[in-house]
Amino acid sequence: MKISFATTSLPDTGAVVVGVLEGGHLTPAAAALDQTCGGAIHRAVKAAKKFSGKRDQSMTLIAPHGCGYSQVVLYGLGKPKDLDTLKLQAIGGTVQAALTSSGETACAILLDGLTDCSLGDASVAANLAFGARLRSYRFDRYLTKEKKEDKPSLKKFTVHTGDVKGAKHTFETLDKIADGVFLTRDLVSEPANVLYPESFAKRCLSLTELGVEVQVLDEKQMKKLGMGALLGVAQGSENKPRLVVLRWNGAKDKDAKPLAFIGKGVCFDSGGISIKPSAGMEDMKWDMGGAGVVTGLMTVLAGRKAKVNAIGVLGLVENMPSGAAQRPGDIVTSLSGQTIEVLNTDAEGRLVLADALWYAKETFQPEVMIDLATLTGAIIICLGGEYAGLFSNDDALATRLTLAGKAVGEELWRMPMGPAYDKQLNSQAADMKNIGGREGGSITAAQFLKRFVGEVKWAHLDIAGVTWSKSDSPTVPKGGTAFGVRLLDRYVAEHWEK
């Protein structure tokens, strides 16, 4: 779908979307269109019993006489003073979703007269377009017999504005963010027979075209380093592990300490010897969601030439049962030298992150470390699919991340941490166990990870409940969400770029 911007003059044909303010008041564009349509819009609004211009209400007029349009969509804007970037993005996404399956090939959207809105014309237009682009995502590369009527018809989405130049400029950055979001959604959506550690690592090499330095460590190199925790997870699979390091040096001071983003990349999680139930196991293709988000984030930072030094570390493995697989009761030695008694091989993500976190800390001495992982089912029980769990050893970092998430609609909820939870990880045979009891499962997982970050400011985002959506929302079609890409980009832009 091609997105473009044009002046506020009315288009000639196709579908057109205009705004109606709360109380049924027409915006200037809607009033101008009403004259062209012989007063049809005014009559429709006056006669409507369930449409009064409240936000997110809509009404469609099919082929109004005399105007030449196939349909006119009246969209309720509510009170302009209540509109913000997220609400505008939602409008753009909702309109795109409604029209893309309607048979229309072109759409023009004109939302003007928002004098009480705190955003300028350029920001209004750019965010409408951004929402439309985010909602347009489809993972359809394996559909070979899809009927024509089931395919998206909308090819052109034009946003009319009084500030075309400004809208284009603002949208340039948002478009780069969408690129990273789409890459993450692609990675999360791929089946595990296509996306496995080696093929994931190869895809990361494409980031070199944006100026990202990419380093790939194979099994032999990781053994030499002593990554016993990560390799223990991987040993049951025919697909060998990889550790991928993505480096973007965009700060003026090239020697400035970087931010480090670490992603759990379990490309398929069967549970290993502690095998999962078969029902729903197909969902475990997206147990690499954290690594997918880090890859998408690094794509955004490089794409928009972010003025920051950033490191992405991806621990890529498969967790499979076989004669070579790790067994419950095994003891492994992590890269840090700490030993771990593996009581449950399905608590594998924390083992992968243990070595990835320590590697990032020791190799790059980062200013901040943030890891993302589809780590625990317990966080889904706590927060459902509305929030990701946030754990941190630094209050300021936790606050900044929470506010960044709220600004982009990717909400975080901070969870408690403390020494009392560590007792559940005590082992008689090793330095720690890889699981605690049933109580506080997401917290004990975070306490486990904390042992591998030292004194570095650190946050852990448990995204198990928000990585995949089973229903549509205005800017996120069902499937892979890419939750975290926009959040972390916002965090970087607000606090680290100068």
- Cα dihedral across residues 480, 347, 352, 422: positive or negative: positive
Distances, alpha carbon 339 to alpha carbons 70, 241, 418, 427, in Å: 68, 20, 21, 10
The span from the CA of 222 to the CA of 239, in Å, is: 15
For residue 327, indicate whether it is catalytic.
Answer: no
The active-site residue out of 43, 54, 257, 276 is: 276
Return the axis-axis angle of helices 164-189 and 485-495, rounded to nearest 10°. Answer: 130
Burial 192-213 (b: 16+ CB within 10 A, else e): beebbbebbbeebeebeebebe
β-pair type (71-78, 2-6):
unpaired
Beta-bridge mates of residue 461: 372, 390
Q: Is-contact 474 94, C-beta < 8 A? A: yes
End-to-end CA distance of the chain: 34
SS3 content of the chain, % helix, strand, coil (to 5): 40, 20, 40
Beta-bridge mates of residue 390: 414, 461
The span from the CA of 495 to the CA of 498, in Å, is: 8
Here the tokens at position 116 are: 């009480």
SS3 labels along 16-28 = EEEEEECCCEECH
For residue 450, indicate whether it is catalytic.
Answer: no
The span from the CA of 388 to the CA of 431, in Å, is: 29
Here the tokens at position 281 are: 């196991």
Beta-bridge mates of residue 290: none
Dihedral (Cα; 412, 292, 272, 444), 10-degree rounding? -20
Q: Which residue type, as a one-letter code, is found at position 490?
A: R
CB atoms near residue 450 (< 10 Å) = 18
The span from the CA of 352 to the CA of 372, in Å, is: 12
The active-site residue out of 133, 135, 240, 350 is: 350
Give the residue numbers annotated as catalytic, written as ranges.
276, 350
